[in-house]
Amino acid sequence: MIVIAVIGILAAITIVAFNGVSNRAKVALVTSDLDAVSKKLIIDQTINGGYPATLAATDGGKGVPASAGTTYQYTVDNTANPQTFCVTAVNGSTVYYINESGTPTTGTCAGHSSTGYTTPAIGGYTDLTPIFSAATSLTISPFGSVPDGAWMIIVLAYTNTTAPTTPAGWTTLISYDHTGSMSTSVYAKIKTSSDTGSMTITLNSAGNTASGAFMWGTSADAVSSWTLGSIGKRDGTTGQQYITTTPTVTTTAVQSLVLSISNERTIATEADITSLTGATKWFFIAQPDANKLQTITLSYAALNSVGTSTPVTVTYPNPQTLNGIAFQIALPPFHQ
Per-residue pLDDT of the chain (336 residues; tens, 9 = 90+): 675 655 555 445 544 444 444 578 889 989 999 999 999 999 999 999 999 988 888 888 888 888 888 888 888 888 888 999 999 988 888 999 999 988 999 988 887 777 777 788 899 999 988 777 655 667 778 787 888 889 999 998 888 667 788 888 899 999 989 888 888 999 999 998 888 888 877 776 554 567 889 999 988 989 999 999 999 998 888 878 899 999 999 988 878 999 999 999 888 888 899 999 999 999 999 887 766 678 999 999 988 778 899 999 999 998 888 889 999 999 998 865
The sign of the torsion formed by the CA atoms of 112, 63, 151, 132 equals positive
**Beta-sheet pairing, 312-315 with 137-140:** unpaired
d(CA 185, CA 175): 5
Residue 335 is predicted with a pLDDT of 65
Residue 19 is predicted with a pLDDT of 44
Residue 84 is predicted with a pLDDT of 92
The pTM score is 0.72
Residue 269 is predicted with a pLDDT of 83
Residue 16 is predicted with a pLDDT of 40
Contacts (Cβ under 8 Å, ≥6 apart) of 317: 242, 268, 270, 273, 274
d(CA 177, CA 232): 11
Backbone dihedral angles phi then psi of residue 19, each to the nearest 5 degrees: -60, -40
Q: What is the DSSP letter of 163?
A: P
Residue 17 is predicted with a pLDDT of 43
Residue 134 is predicted with a pLDDT of 57
d(CA 61, CA 149): 11
